Amino acid sequence: MSTAYKIQWPTMFSGFRGFTWANLPSEISAGITLAALIIPLNIGYAQVAGLPPVFGLYAGIIPLAIFAIFTSSRHVVGSPDAPIAAIMGAVLIGFAQAGDPLRMHYALALSMMCGLLFFVFWLFRLAFLANFLSRAVLTGFITGLGIEVLTNQIRRILGASHAAGTGLAAIAEHLHGAMATSVDTTGYFVEVIALFESIPRANLYSVAIGVGAFVIVRLMKKYSPKVPAALLALVLMTVIAAVFGLDKKGVGVLGSLPSGLPSLTLPNVPLADYFRLLPGAMAVVAITLCEALLLVRSCSRKHNTKADGNQVLFAYGMASVAGGFTGSLVSGPSASRTAAMDAAGSRTQLSSLVAAATVALVMVFFTDQLAYLPTAALAGVVASAVLNLVEVEELRELWHMRRSEFWIAFVCLLSVLMFGPLQAVIIAFLLSTIDLLRRASQPGTWVLREAPDGSHFIPEETDHAPDIPGIIMYRFGASLYFANANFFEEEVEKLVTQAASPIKWFVLDAEAMNDMDTTGEETLHQVMSWLAKRGVTVAVSRANPSTTALLRHYHLLELIGENRLYPTNRHAIAAFRNETGQATPE
C-alpha cells in the first residue's frame, strides 16, 4: 500500500521555545553582543568575497531575522562565515572582478540559487546527505579555506603599495594568468609569491594596526572571552588611526557607506548565467549543509533540545532568498558566534532578533563612524577568526588515530589550495565516495569458533582454520550487494578450498545481512551452486524476517531449503552433529 508524499511545512518561531520573561535581560544582552561580533566580522567577510562592506552589514539585518524566525534550532546563529565568503569570492571571480558593479548582481543571483537549492534539499528531506562528508574531508576542506583566507588577510595587513612588472611581482603576474587559464582559479601559490614580494613594500603603520587588532582579539578571547573583542579592537584602532592621521600615511580605511536600511534589489543577470552559478551554489550549500547540521546536533546534545535538520535547511533557504532581495552575503552556520551566544546566556533565537535590530540602528545612525575603520584592523579581526579554521590539532589527531583519513584530509587541503574551493568540493565528494565504497567493498568477516563450554561462539579472523572438522561457520558483516559481492565469493571459496579437512557444511551467519541487491543474489546463487558441486550443504543462521523474505523472493530458499534456516548458530551446529553423527564435546 503506497502513501502519498506529504510536505512537512516548517513551524515559525520554533527556535523561541523555552523563552521566559526572566531570560529577557540575558537575551537582550546577548543580542547586543552578537551585533558587536557581526558588524566587524561581516564587513571583513564581505571583503573576503570581494564585495562592498554593506553586503556584510545587510546580512546582519533581514536575513539574520528571517533565519531566527524559521529555524528549529534555538541556538545556532545564521550569519556569513569565512568558508562561505571564500567560496563566494572564488565563484564570483569567474564573472566579474572586485569593484565591478556587475559583481554585486552576480552575488545576489548566487544567493538566489543557494536559496533554491536549500528549498530543494528541504522539500525532499535530504538533510541526511550531511552524513556522507566524513570528518576527514571536512577537516581538510575547512583547513584549506582557512589557510587561503588567512593568507589574503595577511596581505591586507601589510598594506603594501602595488608594484608590478619586475622581480617576483612579474613572475606572479605571469603565473597568475597561466593558472587562471588552466584551472580557473586565482592560484593560492601565486598569492604566496605575491605575499613575499610585498613584504619589502609593507606599510609599517598598517602592519601595526593590523597586528595590534589581531593581538587584542586573541588576548581578549583568552582572558576575557565574554567581552566583544572584535568591536573593542576596531574601536581602539579606529581612534588611534584618527588621532595620528594614519589615513594620510598610507593606512587604508573603509570609506563612506550608504546610510539606512537595505532596499529591495533584483539581480540583473542573464538567465544562462544562473546555470553557470549552479556549481558554486552547490558548493556553498554542501558546506552549509554539513557544518550547519553538525552544529545543530552538537547544540541539541549540549542543551538537551530537539531540532529538525530539514527545517534548518528551509531557514537557510529563506535567509538566502532574503539576502538576494536585500543585497546581502549568503548566510551560513557560524560556530564562533553560536558559541559566543551560548557563553553570553542566550537560550533562544530572540538574541538574533535583538542583534538584527541593533545592526539596523547602526546602519541608520552610525555609518559615518564606520567609514574611518582601518582595513588593516578589519583584516586582523578576520585573521583571528579564520585562524580557528586551521585545524592543526584535528590533523594531528587523524595522523595518530587513522593514517588513511589523515591523507584524505591532506588531499582535500591541497585541493583547495591548488585548484580552488569549487574543484575541491568535487574532489571532497569523490574522496568520500571512494572511501565509503572502499570500506563497503571489504566489510568485516569472521569464522566462528565454538567456545570450550559450548555456550557461545567466538569470532576470529578468516585465516584461522575451523575448529570443528567438516563445517565452516561464516559471519558476513554487511548487506550483500554489488560493492562487496565479489569479496564475498572470493572469501567463501578461499575458506572451503584451503580447509585442512573436507568441508561438509557451510553455515552463513546472516545476522548483519539486512539487504541484498540483484548482484548479491546472483553471487550467492553462484556460490551455492559451487558449494553444491563440491558436496557441501548450505545452511543459514540468524536471518531476520526481511532477509528471509528476500531469499524467498529471489528463489534462493528453494536451493537452501526451509529446514536449513536456523534461529541460532547453536541450532545449526546441533543439526550438523545430528546429521553427520559427530559427537558433542563434553
Which candidate, 48, 63, 27, 2, places its Cα nearest to that of 381? Answer: 48
- Chosen domain end from 406, 435, 464: 435
Q: Is residue 196 included in any domain, yes or no?
A: no
- How much of the chain is helix, strand and coil, in % rounded to 5? 65, 5, 30
> Per mean pLDDT, which range of 101-110, 303-312, 316-325 is the poorest?
303-312
Q: Is residue 312 included in any domain, yes or no?
A: yes
Which candidate, 466, 533, 460, places its Cα nearest to that of 499? Answer: 466
pLDDT digits (tens, 9 = 90+) for 160-183: 765 444 444 444 444 444 433 333
The C-alpha angle with vertex 171 and arms to 169 and 177, in degrees rounded to 5, equals 100
Domain total in the chain: 2
Q: Is residue 389 included in any domain, yes or no?
A: yes
Q: What CA–CA distances, in Å, run from 18 to 15, 296, 310?
A: 9, 17, 21
Asked if 475 and 509 sit in the same domain, the reply is yes
Average pLDDT of every residue of the chain: 86
Q: Is residue 220 included in any domain, yes or no?
A: yes
pLDDT digits (tens, 9 = 90+) for 359-393: 999 999 988 888 888 999 988 988 888 887 788 99
Asked if 317 and 209 sit in the same domain, the reply is yes
pLDDT at 56 over 70: yes
d(Cα 435, Cα 432) in Å, to the nearest integer? 5
Give the pLDDT confidence score for residue 436 in this predicted structure: 79
How do strand 78-79 and strand 332-333 relate by DSSP bridges?
Answer: antiparallel
DSSP strands (E only) in 432-555: 445-450, 457-460, 471-476, 505-509, 537-541
Query: Helix (H, G, I), strand (E, B), or coil: what is residue 166?
Result: coil
Give the pLDDT confidence score for residue 60 in this predicted structure: 94
Asked if 348 and 208 sit in the same domain, the reply is yes
Asked if 229 and 345 sit in the same domain, the reply is yes
Q: Is residue 67 included in any domain, yes or no?
A: yes
Residue 561 Rama label (left phi>0; alpha psi -120 to 50; beta)? left
Asked if 457 and 357 sit in the same domain, the reply is no
Q: How confident is the model at residue 479 (pLDDT cuts 50, 70, 90)?
A: very high
d(Cα 509, Cα 385) in Å, to the nearest integer? 52
**CATH number (domain holding residue 492):** 3.30.750.24
Q: How confident is the model at residue 568 (pLDDT cuts 50, 70, 90)?
A: very high
Give the pLDDT confidence score for residue 165 in this predicted structure: 43
Asked if 121 and 266 sit in the same domain, the reply is yes
Question: Which structural domain range is residue 302 located in?
Answer: 24-159+202-435
Asked if 296 and 371 sit in the same domain, the reply is yes
**Identity of the amino acid at 6:** K
Q: Is residue 195 included in any domain, yes or no?
A: no
Query: Helix (H, G, I), strand (E, B), or coil: what is residue 137?
Result: helix
Asked if 488 and 395 sit in the same domain, the reply is no
d(Cα 567, Cα 492) in Å, to the nearest integer? 22
Cβ-Cβ contacts under 8 Å for 510 (sequence gap 6 or more): 476, 540, 541, 542, 543, 544, 547
Asked if 83 and 137 sit in the same domain, the reply is yes
Cell 558593479 found at: 101
**Identity of the amino acid at 153:** Q
Asked if 431 and 449 sit in the same domain, the reply is no
pLDDT digits (tens, 9 = 90+) for 242-280: 898 888 888 988 888 889 999 998 898 999 999 999 988
Give the pLDDT confidence score for residue 419 in this predicted structure: 85
Q: Is residue 165 included in any domain, yes or no?
A: no
- Chosen domain end from 435, 470, 492: 435
Give the pLDDT confidence score for residue 274 in this predicted structure: 92
Q: Is residue 372 included in any domain, yes or no?
A: yes
pLDDT at 141 over 90: no
pLDDT digits (tens, 9 = 90+) for 209-239: 999 999 999 998 888 877 778 888 988 999 9
- Chosen domain end from 415, 435, 455: 435
Whether 276 and 109 have beta carbons less than 8 Å apart is answered as: no
- 154-192 as b/e: b if 16+ CB within 10 A: bbbbbbbeeeeeeeebeebeebbeebeeeeebbbbebbb
pLDDT at 292 over 90: no
What are the phi and psi torsion angles at 463 (to 5°)? -85, 0
Asked if 411 and 484 sit in the same domain, the reply is no
Asked if 451 and 416 sit in the same domain, the reply is no
Q: Which of 81-90, 138-147, 257-266, 522-531: highest mean pLDDT?
A: 522-531
pLDDT at 139 over 80: yes
Q: What is the DSSP letter of 250?
A: T
Q: How confident is the model at residue 354 (pLDDT cuts 50, 70, 90)?
A: very high
d(Cα 385, Cα 380) in Å, to the nearest integer? 9
List the alpha helices (DSSP H) in 388-483.
392-401, 403-419, 421-441
